[in-house]
């Protein structure tokens, strides 16, 4: 069995170096044919030296691919196009997988036949002190389900408290990544391109499972535990959720109307409960509701964050 590990990266060579190093020390590398694809989505090809140094010492093939323009969907599609393994795995450039990740994946793949699997992600916060509840909810991805247990992206059986995202996701490539461009570039600046794909796959009858032993840690910079950032992130997340659920439903018009009604009810409930909330929590919850209400005009979250960090 060949497994292609795919990293999409954008101007984070130091974090990427740590992510790649975690692959090199995986347990069970002799039990599967591994190769790595790194897709650099930056104009200046900021990851080139990091990938070249890693490839020179790696015991498996490593390929470096560039993808333009800066758009996470463009990068993900380039990674899929470069993948050769029957199993294709998305890992983030700010993520380190634990040594037991590969044995857990191989064991579950051998005894379970889901189409896509997800491993838990534990947030590693840069800032001092206790992370906010909103940040933990956003960046930690865990559940008490067992290996191979089923997950759902949308609908009445949607798995509560567990967001289906490409971070630490394992695809049976021939069953799932079959569209010419699986990730929609329209969502590539706001996020949610992965959730949109999972909604589409569920509509097509594909099934999702959990692998509790496929653990990963995600580095979360201090600015992402800031109320302003979390409010923007929840606003964009609310938009992506509504956009994806509506477009992938059997009756988009009816679904859009039902979603609008449910969101209106949630606004009313929020009005009654908000006086009892802490100010930051109130801002974040309101932003998520506004996002679900205004999903037709997508907010470019990633571009805004990049401009903030670069000072443009």
Domain ranges of the chain: 2-225, 227-310
pLDDT at res. 2: 95
| Pairing mode of beta strands 33-40, 62-66 | parallel
**Lowest-pLDDT choice from 15-29, 126-140, 173-187, 272-286:** 126-140
Q: Is the peptide bond between 69 and the residue preceding it cis, with omega within 30 degrees of 0?
A: yes
CA distance 60 to 33: 8
Report the Cα 134 to chain-centroid distance in Å.
17
pTM equals 0.94
Proportion of the chain above pLDDT 90, given as a percent = 91
193 with 165: CB under 8 angstroms?
no
User: For 289-303, what is the mean pLDDT?
Assistant: 94
| Alpha helices, DSSP H, located in the chain | 13-24, 48-57, 72-82, 101-111, 133-139, 173-176, 193-203, 227-247, 252-273, 279-293, 301-310
Residue 33, burial from CB neighbour count under 10 angstroms (0-12, 13-18, 19+): middle
**Mean of per-residue pLDDT scores for the chain:** 95
Confidence of residue 298 (pLDDT cuts 50, 70, 90): very high
pLDDT higher at 114 or 130: 114
Q: Decide if pLDDT at 269 tops 80.
A: yes
pLDDT at res. 309: 77
User: For 276-302, what is the mean pLDDT?
Assistant: 95
User: For 9-13, what is the mean pLDDT?
Assistant: 96
pLDDT at res. 305: 85
User: For 265-272, what is the mean pLDDT?
Assistant: 97
pLDDT at res. 311: 64
pLDDT at res. 177: 98
CA distances from 86 to 109, 260, 272, 287 (A): 11, 40, 51, 40
Class of domain 2-225: alpha beta
User: For 41-70, what is the mean pLDDT?
Assistant: 97
Report the Cα 243 to chain-centroid distance in Å.
16
Q: Decide if pLDDT at 312 tops 70.
A: no
Q: Decide if pLDDT at 34 tops 70.
A: yes
Confidence of residue 129 (pLDDT cuts 50, 70, 90): confident
How do residues 65-119 score in pLDDT, each as one tens digit? 999 999 999 999 999 999 999 999 999 999 999 999 999 999 999 999 999 999 9
């Amino acid at each position: 069995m060949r497994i292609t590990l795919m990293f999409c990266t954008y101007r984070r060579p130091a974090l990427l170096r740590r992510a790649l190093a975690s692959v090199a020390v995986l347990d069970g590398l002799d039990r599967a044919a591994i190769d790595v694809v790194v897709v650099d989505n930056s104009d200046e090809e900021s990851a080139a030296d990091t990938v070249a140094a890693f490839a020179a010492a790696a015991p498996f093939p490593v390929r470096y691919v560039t993808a333009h323009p800066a758009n996470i969907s463009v990068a993900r599609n380039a990674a899929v196009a470069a993948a050769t393994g029957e199993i294709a795995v998305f890992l983030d450039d700010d993520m380190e997988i634990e040594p037991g990740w590969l044995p857990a994946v191989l064991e579950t793949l051998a005894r379970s036949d889901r189409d896509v699997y997800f491993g838990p992600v534990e947030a590693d916060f840069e800032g001092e002190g206790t992370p906010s509840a909103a940040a933990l909810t956003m960046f930690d991805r865990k559940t008490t389900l067992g290996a191979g247990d089923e997950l759902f992206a949308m609908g009445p059986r949607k798995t509560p408290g567990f967001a289906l995202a490409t971070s630490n996701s394992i695809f049976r490539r021939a069953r799932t990544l079959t569209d010419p461009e699986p990730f929609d570039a329209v969502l590539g600046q706001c996020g949610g391109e992965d959730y949109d794909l999972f909604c589409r796959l569920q509509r097509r009858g594909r099934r999702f499972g959990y692998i509790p032993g496929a653990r990963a840690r995600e580095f979360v910079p201090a600015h992402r535990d800031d109320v302003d950032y979390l409010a923007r992130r929840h606003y964009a997340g609310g938009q992506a959720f509504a956009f994806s659920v509506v477009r992938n439903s059997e009756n988009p018009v009816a679904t859009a109307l039902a979603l609008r009604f449910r969101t209106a009810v949630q606004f009313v409930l929020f009005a009654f409960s908000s006086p009892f909330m802490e100010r930051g929590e109130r801002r974040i919850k309101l932003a998520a509701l506004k996002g679900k209400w205004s999903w037709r005009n997508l907010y470019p979250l990633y571009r805004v964050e990049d401009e903030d960090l670069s000072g443009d």
